[in-house]
Amino acid sequence: MNPLLQKFQTKHNTAPFSKIKNSHFKPAFTEAIKQARQEIDAIVNLSETPTFENTIEKLEFSGATLDRISSVFFNLNSAETNDELQKIAQEISPLLTEFGNDIRLNEKLFAKIKELYTKKETLNLNTEQKTLLEKNYKNFVRNGANLSKTDKDTLRDLDKTLAKLKLQFSENVLAESNSFEMFLTNETQLKGLPEGVKEAAKMLAKQKGKEGWLITLDYPSYIPFMTYAENRELRKKLAIAFGKRGFQNNKYDNQNIVLEIAKNRYKRANLLGYKTHADFVLEERMAENPKTVTSFLNDLLVKAKPAAESEFKQLCDFAKKDGIENFQKWDAAFYSEKLKKQKFDLDDEALKPYFKLENVLQGVFSVANKLYDLIFTETYDIDTYHSDVKAYEVTNTNGEFIAVFYADFFPRKGKRNGAWMTSYKSQWKKNNENSRPHISIVCNFTKPTKTKPSLLTFNEVTTLFHEFGHALHGMLANTTYPSLSGTNVYWDFVELPSQILENWAYQKETLNLFAKHYKTNEIIPINLIEKIKKAANFLEGMATLRQLSFGLLDMEWHGKNPTEYNLVKEIENRVFSKTNLYPDVAENAMSTAFSHIFPGGYSAGYYSYKWAEVLDADAFALFTEKGIFNKEIASKFKENILSKGGTEKPMKLYENFRGKKPSVDALLKRAGLV
């Protein structure tokens, strides 16, 4: 019996991970696609006049089994993959693309939706229903419903090609990350590394059956080495290995894949009547068009560049005292950390004992409790996909069930780098039931060792707060329709809930809740809190410039005609000439491992991190003014932003919360750029 095709007989209808085998996926997808097609046929063949209920609502709730299987499969393919799973992904991605196209290119179905759309003002719909109808109509038009038969076939081919290219890109980056290993056998090579990092490296080597220390490209190994290792040659070796993933002219090379993805996206946009892929994407964003985005990025660039250049000079001068005449990228983290220590007497390693992972997690739970009355209870009778993953039941102070929350914190072979929030089940309302969501956050923090628990850097603390902000957006969802629920919002709005929560990590009232020394239980001293706050804007100009360079690179690939592009490195050099502070590294490229914009959903959307920073700085200014745990403001934020998902235009939701449009001044002030 295939567990993916049964109703899950589990607590809160959670995924029965331990019963699911790789062999279940392909037959489950095949059957679920068949079922979903039958549901679509039933809508199309209905002889009654189309209504919102018999067409739009039926379409919204069709394919529920397929959605569930897809969320389980693709989440596992990111967090717990293997060769077999990757092979299945290659086989089923084209099937899913074809199925999606079969729906969106179904002329009879579109005719019904179009009929409803043309008379939408007479249908007596509420705001959410209007949004759903508009979203469906646009979704069909934006996916080729108005195209000729020949053009529809071309679109199908393009979509299949893109689905395969994106998968291949991800697999290549993962393979390159996993294949690099730096074994060190002489302890002097580890000079400068904190004891905990050395211990973790020793543990990694032992797992490979070797004596010595193993450094990898996984963030918990890579970042501390780049930050603390005094051996400049080894830092260089590691940095170059990290920077040349997908750029080595080997079987995992992504250069052609980058060019193919950009060119196929451009062709697709043209076919649908858009000038570029960015024009297509931004039509459904707060920014609305490439001109707004480019102006936004360039305007910030003008404001940030003088600060960045001044900071860079300061860093180079500081390194010169150490005999470094030609300052390079592999010197950046090392000398930044040293300079920060000198300027603020702040050492990330001295902070780490106050940030035991379990305590930080309880900290974000406490913040969620104070703001939104949520209670998190770890549960052992909800199945997880790996022994490292923890499951929690989330209730409110009235005892009502709100969500299932999964937390997956440590790196392993089958897990991609970075940190993200995802969902195993959306929230929706149907038949008088409010069906609650299953939300997960996935990070890559240092594993506990024999002598130390998992201790986070302050940067990792803010990462945890960030992903948990996304999770709150998912958990507090309260809409009727799943496709408008939780984080199903415009992509330049989706980072607001995550980025605003980072602000709490810098506040004394928050840190006092959880920042306790893991050995003595002593609360973090006030002088350390003051130093954290003072150092918050350290090298902010350089950090801003870096983010802007990624946003501008994204717009170069997606906001122009890439037909004549043929050398990835050449494109990058042109874009980075405006933002580069460091000498170029010939062996390295950014695009070939830029997972956010090539396989990920941020194509023509990387600017949204900065865009959302404007929103979060402006929104948090209200909390600062009224009190960071002010229940009234928290309630307004929950009611107008977190629970509303994509049911209305984001700017309208934001203005409902804030009472005005956002101002860039709050960001510039917070970043110390004015």
CA distances from 291 to 127, 278, 288, 554, 555 (A): 30, 10, 9, 14, 10
Helices (H), 449-488: 458-475
Residue 181, both tokens: 């290993």
- The neighbour count for residue 450, using CB atoms within 10 Å, is 7
Question: Amino acid letter at 471?
Answer: A
527 vs 533: CA distance, rounded Å: 10
167 in Cβ contact with 416 (< 8 Å): no
616 vs 611: CA distance, rounded Å: 9
CA nearest to 222, candidates 235, 233, 209, 232:
235
What residues pair up with 404 in beta bridges, in sequence order?
A: 393, 438
The four Cα atoms 266, 269, 270, 273 give a dihedral, to 10 degrees, of -160
Residue 467 appears among annotated catalytic residues = yes
Residue 263, both tokens: 């060119």
DSSP string, 122-171: GS---HHHHHHHHHHHHHHHHTTTTS-HHHHHHHHHHHHHHHHHHHHHHH
What residues pair up with 213 in beta bridges, in sequence order?
A: 184
59: buried, middle or exposed (CB in 10 Å: 19+, 13-18, 0-12)?
A: buried
83 vs 320: CA distance, rounded Å: 47
Q: What does the H/E/C string look like for 66-93?
A: HHHHHHHHHHHHHHCCCHHHHHHHHHHH
DSSP-derived 3-state class of residue 391? strand
Catalytic residue among 171, 311, 460, 467: 467
What is the β-pairing status of strands 374-379 and 390-396? antiparallel
Question: Amino acid letter at 258?
Answer: V
Sequence-ordered strand ranges (E) for 409-451 = 420-425, 428-430, 433-435, 438-442
438 in Cβ contact with 422 (< 8 Å): no
The catalytic site residues sit at: 467
